[in-house]
Amino acid sequence: MAEQTPARKKRIAMVHPKFPPSFWSFGFIKDIGGFKTVMPPLGLATLAALTPAEYDVVIVDENIEDIDFDIDADIIALSAMAIQEKRLFEVADEFRRRGYFVCMGGPICNVLPGRCRPHCDVLFEGEGEYNWKIFLEQYETRSHKDYYCQEEKIDMRDTPPPRVDLLKTGMYRLGCIQTTRGCPFNCEFCDIIVTYGRKVRAKPIENVIAELENWAKAGVDFVTIADDNLVGDRVYAKKMLKAVGDWNRARKVPMSFYIEMSVDACRDVELLELLRWANVTEAFLGIETPRESSLKETKKFQNAATPLVDAIKIIQSYGMVTVAGMIVGFDNDDPGIFEDQYKFLQKAGIPIVMLGILQAIPRTPLYERLEKAGRLRSAAQGNNTLSFTNLEPLQMSYEELINGYRELFARIYTWEAVGDRWISNVKQWGKHRDVPAHIGKAGEKSPADDPTRKWLQAPLGRFKFQLVLATLMIFKYYFANGRDRRRFAFKMLWNTLKYAPSALLQTVNYMAYFIHLREYADRVVAKQYRFDYALTEANQQLHANKFGEGGNVNMVKQEKRSATKINVNDAYTGADVTADVAADLETAASK
């Protein structure tokens, strides 16, 4: 009797569309860095881990390889961010034209579900851990729906380690994990709290370590912790950082980390020490603006309560490169904001600045306020560093805002300006650092006031020959292409040797970053940008407006309905907090 061939498993192709050029793409230095793209699709790798063994799964990332539109697959699962909208719809439409069954989810479906719905067979809105499994069970019996919405929060204990084995890890600049979801603050423009809520949820620490082990085994030395605010739950953050630091320092060559955190971390010395111990080498801070009136307008009270320049100097003194998110276009911004921003950034010494124009992201409190006021001028798009915004400014014309933004972006990335900011940051790693007053309890010594503290960070990972090639290419760019570049390179190297000689290779590393950012300023931001989006079809059942923007998930409103109390630690100390924000805060009586 002939031997029977095993039945073919159903196959799922998880596809990540290509990103356009962006601030974070580092597309102008791919050859120097030896990578195809920066970050792997963590959402798809997690979705793959949630998929039952009865399915074969493949991850196709168009940022590192071409898409085969004739791929052997029963289901195409697409995930993307809003910045990928145009390419996402092109890819989805092409697969459907060829008869494939297309599912769509990810961040873009959380803010633009009405625009996404016509381009897929099944749409997933909200977190996917539970509904993906439900869909696959129903798909087997052909009883599945065409729309799944996760309105309740998922338990982070139910999020499995991502399938790192399905990723071509050598093609990426870094690895990626997520330890928490949510942020306790109430910033008016932010979509994170709408999607994930203000009550922070955390992954078990043993799961975090297991995920880091998987990345380390895959040869990855640099990992971004993709929490939107790592210190939103400081109690958890300290426990997690201590465990990560102990694991990391036991390694022959420590893994280095990029994080995002709120600036109120400067108040907590224990937390800062643990960040240093864990080998956090770069920290993104949502500063937004030096204007207190604009911070209060957008309800960013944790920043309004903090002397921002002092806070940045303190954080830098714990060995980190600081990256700042800055925004122009608040209602309190007049044409003088561009000079205010420049002077603040140079004084604070923040080397990398993601300067953007305020955008009204769908479902945020800002969007709802401006929609009611009739100040939405067009559909939203996902890149706030282009010369475009979907809102009408108040204290200057639209043209003044766009032109002022472009001029400021170019100005902060002149060689002289960025060199001065880098040296200021590096100075904080050595004994000649600036020592601002302590921001915490009165009478306490400033955390920066420790001349014996050395730069502990190990940022470069295991030796790779690519590092030698990269160094040669960096030096060629600077030393073989004109006087201004040579002066900049000498200035960077000499002052690093002067203030923190052990960080010399870190300076060379960031000289590559500045190539990308300078090229991005000249080639992308300097260009006139028009968002030519013509909405042809939107699903009104998803509460979409005329721009196809809307959706059903709003964790902030859900938390208000359930009277959830929020703990912000000491972040609002000294701030004039509005009554609506104060009403949500956890007090001794509510604990």
Specify the pLDDT at position 539.
45
Specify the pLDDT at position 122.
98
Specify the pLDDT at position 534.
38
- Cα(370)–Cα(365) distance, rounded to whole angstroms? 9
Rg (CA), the chain: 24
Residue with tokens 């950012």: 517
Specify the pLDDT at position 440.
63
Specify the pLDDT at position 97.
98
225 neighbors 250 (Cβ within 8 angstroms): no
Specify the pLDDT at position 2.
52
- Cα(446)–Cα(1) distance, rounded to whole angstroms? 83
- Which domains are seen in the chain, by residue range? 10-151 (3.40.50.280), 174-444+473-525 (3.80.30.20)
Residue 427 gets which letter from DSSP?
Answer: H
423 neighbors 492 (Cβ within 8 angstroms): yes
Can you tell me whether residue 386 is helix, strand or coil?
Answer: coil
By the 10 Å C-beta count (0-12 exposed, 13-18 middle, 19+ buried), 147 is classed as: middle
Helices within 141-266 (DSSP H only): 192-196, 205-217, 234-249
520 neighbors 368 (Cβ within 8 angstroms): no
45 neighbors 172 (Cβ within 8 angstroms): no
| CA distances (Å), origin 505, targets 402, 455, 473 | 37, 13, 14
Residue with tokens 């719905």: 117
DSSP 21-54: S-TTT-GGGHHHHT-SBS---HHHHHHHHHS-TT
Helices within 441-554 (DSSP H only): 465-479, 483-499, 504-520
E-strand stretches of 359-512: none
For residue 507, give the amino acid letter.
T
Distance of CA 591 to the CA centre of its chain: 31
Could you tell me which residues come within 8 angstroms of residue 97 by beta carbon, excluding any fewer than 6 positions away?
none
Q: Of 150, 546, 563, 153, nearest to 362 (Cα)?
A: 546
544 neighbors 115 (Cβ within 8 angstroms): yes
| CA distances (Å), origin 417, targets 273, 347, 355, 492 | 30, 11, 14, 12
Is the pTM higher than 0.85? The answer reads: yes
- Cα(424)–Cα(71) distance, rounded to whole angstroms? 52
Q: Of 180, 225, 179, 178, nearest to 198 (Cα)?
A: 180
Task: Give per-10-residue mean pLDDT for the chain (591 aa).
Answer: 67 97 90 93 98 97 98 98 95 98 96 92 97 97 96 94 97 97 96 94 98 97 97 97 97 96 94 96 98 97 94 95 98 98 98 97 94 92 88 96 96 97 97 81 70 83 88 95 95 97 95 95 80 47 64 85 90 88 78 59
Can you tell me whether residue 321 is helix, strand or coil?
Answer: strand
Specify the pLDDT at position 375.
95
Half-sphere exposure of 558 (CA within 13 A, CB side): 15
Could you tell me which residues come within 8 angstroms of residue 189 by beta carbon, excluding any fewer than 6 positions away?
298, 327, 358, 359, 360, 361, 364, 366
Could you tell me which residues come within 8 angstroms of residue 319 by beta carbon, excluding any fewer than 6 positions away?
276, 280, 281, 429, 455, 456, 457
